Structure 1
Amino acid sequence: MKFYTMPEVNFNSILENVNRHIKLEKEESDFFISLLQHRLLNRKEFLLRQGEICRKETFIVKGCLRVYTTDENGAEHVVIFGVENWWVGDFASFITQTPATYYIDALEDTEVLQITKEDLERLYEKVHKFERFFRLLLQNAYAAQQNRINQNLAFTAEQRYLDFIKKYPQLEQRISQKQVSSYLGITPVFLSMIRRKLMGK
């Protein structure tokens, strides 16, 4: 784990992300930035392990994280991938400060910005509009989770793959076929069959 002082960090992407939903004055932006912690993760390094308490919300500046669970046989099931300009975390664990359901680790060397629950409360008190921002964040995360459940229930494997390509443009070139198939809930062999079929159309 590596932490750096503020002058070495580029905060443009996170401020652009925030300003898509709320408009900040300079002093509000400066206060928000002052609460952020910068972290670099090496490939395969954990951001969070199942059973730990998620104490920070995480914004991805560069790289790719995966959020996943494991079953009783040790098989991994990817719930989401987090890429540039995404927020990730175990939201239930963060909100309730109870043990996390998910593992989160880096599929690439990854740069993130994080804010602790305590500092988030300070932010809410001083810049009230951030309550709206994080409420929207949670609403979007909940909607995405519901959509993911519906897809797993109603979509064919081919439809899920096409949605994956739409949701994560270019990510397929950055991660392994094993990770993609884990996200889709199919075997790598079946994924290869779907790709060949689509290429033949």
Structure 2
Amino acid sequence: MTEALKTHIREYIDISDEKLEKYCNAFTLQKMRKKDFLLKEGGICKFEGFVVSGCFKVFHTDQNTSEQILYFGVENWWISDIDSFINGIPSKLNIQALEDSEILLIAKKIKKNYTLRCLK
């Protein structure tokens, strides 16, 4: 499952096989059913996600409860609420599967200094 992720990463950076393997091993595969939520507004986003298969919509609801779609997360695309993820604040976004999907998730390791450690 991580082959698509490895290929994607190698498109952007030069990285040793050892570091790439270590990084990819930090991801966990999650299978999602159509209409399942990966994140709901008000929750804290604790992941970065790489879409392996399927499709997600990232959206918020306005004051009239109308959906405002920001983007679609398709295969080989990243999804998250980066503001919530980095700052640990409640999300203003929803992430929902539009079809049965598989996503690789990596969590931020919470430490006292609140930093994300990757590729070290």
Q: Note whether the superposition's TM-score is higher than 0.5.
A: yes
Q: Mark the structure with the bigger radius of gyration.
A: 1
2:102 maps to 111
Q: RMSD of the TM alignment (CA)?
A: 1.4
Q: Distance in 2 between matches of 1:44 and 1:121?
A: 30
The yes-or-no answer on 1:35 pairing with 2:30 is no
- TM-superposed deviation, 1:73: 2.1
- Counterparts of 1:22-171 in structure 2, within 5 Å, are 22-118=13-109, 121-124=116-119, 126=120
Amino acid at match of 1:123: C
2:12 maps to 21
Question: Which structure dedicates a bigger proportion of its chain to strand?
Answer: 2
Q: TM-score, normalised by structure 1?
A: 0.55
Q: Distance in 2 between matches of 1:71 and 1:106?
A: 20
Amino acid at match of 1:15: K
- TM-superposed deviation, 1:112: 0.4
- TM-superposed deviation, 1:57: 0.2
Q: Alignment partner of 1:66: what SS?
A: strand
Q: Distance in 2 between matches of 1:75 and 1:122?
A: 37
Identity %: 36
Question: Which structure dedicates a bigger proportion of its chain to helix?
Answer: 1
Larger relative contact order, structure 1 or 2 (CA cutoff 8 Å, min sep 6): 2
Query: Are the counterparts in 1 of residues 61 and 67 from structure 2 also a CA contact under 8 Å?
Result: yes
Q: Which whole-Å deviations, capped at 9, do the CAs of 1:120-171 have from their partners, x for residues lacking one?
A: 82324x1xxxxxxxxxxxxxxxxxxxxxxxxxxxxxxxxxxxxxxxxxxxxx
Aligned residues: 116
Q: TM-score, normalised by structure 2?
A: 0.91
The runs of 5 or more residues in structure 2 that have no matched partner are none
- TM-superposed deviation, 1:17: 0.8
Q: Alignment partner of 2:12: what SS?
A: coil
Amino acid at match of 2:17: K
Q: Distance in 2 between matches of 1:105 and 1:41?
A: 9
Q: Distance in 2 between matches of 1:20 and 1:37?
A: 21
Amino acid at match of 1:23: D
Q: Distance in 2 between matches of 1:80 and 1:121?
A: 25
